[in-house]
Amino acid sequence: MTDYDVLRVFCGAGGGYGNELGVVREGSAMPERDERQAFAAKLGFSEIVFVDDPERGVVDIYTPSVRLPFAGHPCVGTAWLLDVPELVTPAGVVGARLDGEFSWIEARPEWAPPRTLRQYATAAEVEDLPVPPPGEWVYAWAWEDEAAGRVRARGFPGRADGIDEDEATGAAALLLTRLLGRALNISQGAGSQILTAPQPGGWVEVGGRVFLER
């Protein structure tokens, strides 16, 4: 069995919740893409990262059903685990930094896979949503406190691969930040927290708490 770490990324203030992430630090143990995809499907995490060069931060990211050129919570978690200043993804070079209890990445929203950003009138409407049918990646959101930049969100991948709802989605947070043009404090899923901040030149920082589960 290939060794891997399990992290929780974008945890709440008390350290709970967050989105689970598998990280295979020795990507050379499983070099072929079809092997990696099968392993990701077997583990069943929303994403898993294979580290191909730990010093340079070269990573390869998979969901249970597809390979991703970039993803938010895998980059935040892996940058924290490796303690590197950047990650090299197929989409581009992701900046990384630690600031107190938060791990941050800087990336471009256009690297994010397509998401349907669907606004609702109230946070309660978002809370009450059923899981939509497969076929579309939906990021449902509403203002909790617009003046303070507080958002309530839920993410529905719609891939029919066993992940009906994504607990915390950094890529969608990037897209929402670009749309709204301001820093956000997002409460997603059952209790995860994602922070964002627009940066010069169209970049966006996304940050959150990371804990090592095993």
Share the mean pLDDT of the chain.
96
* Ramachandran sector of residue 147 (left: φ over 0; alpha: ψ -120 to 50; beta: rest): alpha
Specify the pairing of strand 19-24 against strand 47-53: parallel
- Look at residues 94, 128, 154 and tell me which one is the last residue of a structural domain: 94
Q: What's the pTM?
A: 0.95
Total count of domains within the chain: 2
Cβ neighbourhood burial of 51 (10 Å; 0-12, 13-18, 19+): buried
Based on the fold, state whether residues 115 and 206 are members of the same structural domain.
yes
Based on the fold, state whether residues 88 and 121 are members of the same structural domain.
no
**For the domain that residue 185 is a member of, what is the CATH number?**
3.10.310.10
Q: Which structure tokens are listed for 131? A: 């899981």
Give mean pLDDT, residues 182-205: 98
What is the CA 190 to chain-centroid distance, rounded? Answer: 15
Segment 106-121, tens digit of pLDDT: 999 999 998 999 999 9
pLDDT at 190: 95
Give mean pLDDT, residues 171-200: 97
Residue 35 has pLDDT above 80, yes or no: yes
pLDDT at 57: 97
Q: Could you tell me the residue range of the domain that residue 20 belongs to?
A: 5-94
What is the CA 25 to chain-centroid distance, rounded? Answer: 18
As a whole number of angstroms, the distance between CA 182 and CA 143 comes to 13
In a domain, 99, yes or no: no
Residue spans of alpha helices (H) in the chain: 33-43, 72-82, 123-127, 170-180
Give mean pLDDT, residues 41-47: 94
- Look at residues 65, 94, 123 and tell me which one is the last residue of a structural domain: 94
In a domain, 160, yes or no: yes
Report helix angle 170-180 to 72-82, nearest 10.
Answer: 120
Residue 1 has pLDDT above 80, yes or no: no
The 10 Å Cβ neighbour count of residue 124 is 10
Phi, psi of 169 (to 5 degrees): -130, 100
What is the CA 9 to chain-centroid distance, rounded? Answer: 8
Helix (H, G, I), strand (E, B) or coil at 210: strand
* Percent of the chain surpassing pLDDT 70: 100
Based on the fold, state whether residues 115 and 171 are members of the same structural domain.
yes
Residue 160 has pLDDT above 90, yes or no: no
Whether residue 24 contacts residue 51, with contact meaning beta carbons closer than 8 Å, is answered with yes
